[in-house]
A = this chain, B = another copy of it.
Amino acid sequence: MNETLRIQQSHRSIRSYKPDPVSDAILDQIIAAAHRAPTSMNAQEISLIVVRDAEKRARIAELSGGQMRVAQAPVFIVIAIDFHKTDLGVRKAGQTQIIHESMEGFGVAAVDAGIALGTLITAAESLGLGIVPIGSIRRNPQDMIALLGLPPLTFPLVGLCIGHIKDDMPLKPRMDIKTFRHDERYDASGYGTTCCLDFYTTILEWAEWSLVPQFARLPELFKGCLTTSVHQQQIRISVLVWIFDELSPRHFDEAHGE
């Protein structure tokens, strides 16, 4: 196994960081990796906002519902959907941009944001740094937008803490590879019996913020498809409960063995 695969296969999210700064040179390299990552049709509709200012990170931690790792890790990178840049180009060409009104636009940009995030993660981990993705920046999007000075047609989708590892973490369990990888055709025949839906229980709380507030900005961005949904949705708590089967110590040993 090469070093890149070894790094990727030992991924675990880090919740505790040293105060030591990440150097400019290191950060430049990590961001250069994401800058080179592919986007659909090379549209480059992603922007990163790199936050190192301690006060600003503390504010983001607060806006994210008390995610204190954001305040603790020296670097926080916001990955934003950015149809502002594309709109400038489209206007310059005398055309009217419509991609930001469609689900296709949101889906494409969210996938590309994920590719950028996945690239940042592997890049940072290759340098021995710890990371943890933060989705709860969507909890108070209007305040996040104001804090980061984001223009119209952008949306702060997800964030990433980067820093030097203080306390390392064990690898979190994954369901059996059979629930993840399907060959030629989806095969759920083993689910719930030989596979992993009964044994290990994790309760995932999609809290109240998971529906309306963080998408207050989205109608502007994707007005065609979302204005209705925001009105329709009630603030609810959805509890996703995972009951894994046969998640034996073997799984943990294998994971830690990487």
Show the binding face of A for B, using Cβ within 8 Å: 1-5, 7-11, 13, 29-38, 40-44, 46-53, 56, 80, 84-86, 88-90, 92-93, 95, 97-99, 102-104, 106-108, 110-119, 121-123, 126-127, 133, 135, 138, 148-151, 154, 157-158, 171-175, 177, 179-188, 191-192, 197-198, 201-202, 204, 206, 210-211, 214-215, 218, 224-226, 228-229, 232-233, 236, 238-244, 255, 258
Contact = CB atoms under 8 A, between A and B. Distances in A.
A51 B10 CA distance: 26
B240 A89 contact: yes
A51 B184 contact: yes
Contact of A103 (B102, B224, B226, B258): B226
A4 B3 CA distance: 8
Given A93-B201, A99-B238, A104-B206, 9 more contacts: A4-B122, A8-B33, A10-B36, A37-B118, A90-B240, A97-B240, A225-B226, A225-B228, A225-B229
A240 B4 contact: no
Report copies per complex.
2
Contacts of A232: 224-225
Contacts of A186: 47, 49, 80, 148-151, 154
B218 A103 contact: yes
B3 A3 contact: yes
B182 A47 contact: yes
7 contacts: A8-B36, A40-B133, A50-B183, A88-B192, A95-B241, A122-B122, A148-B185
A240 B86 contact: yes
Nearest to A134: B40
B184 A53 contact: yes
A135 B40 contact: yes
Given A181-B48, A188-B84, A206 B99 contact: yes
Given A90-B240, A118-B118, A127-B2, A233 B102 contact: yes
A49 B233 contact: no
A138 B13 CA distance: 32
A115 B132 CA distance: 13
Closest 3 CB pairs of A and B: A114-B114, A118-B118, A225-B229
Contacts of A228: 225, 228-229
Given A56-B184, A86-B242, A42 B204 contact: yes
Contact of A115 (B80, B102, B121): B121
Given A182-B50, A233-B225, A243 B92 contact: yes
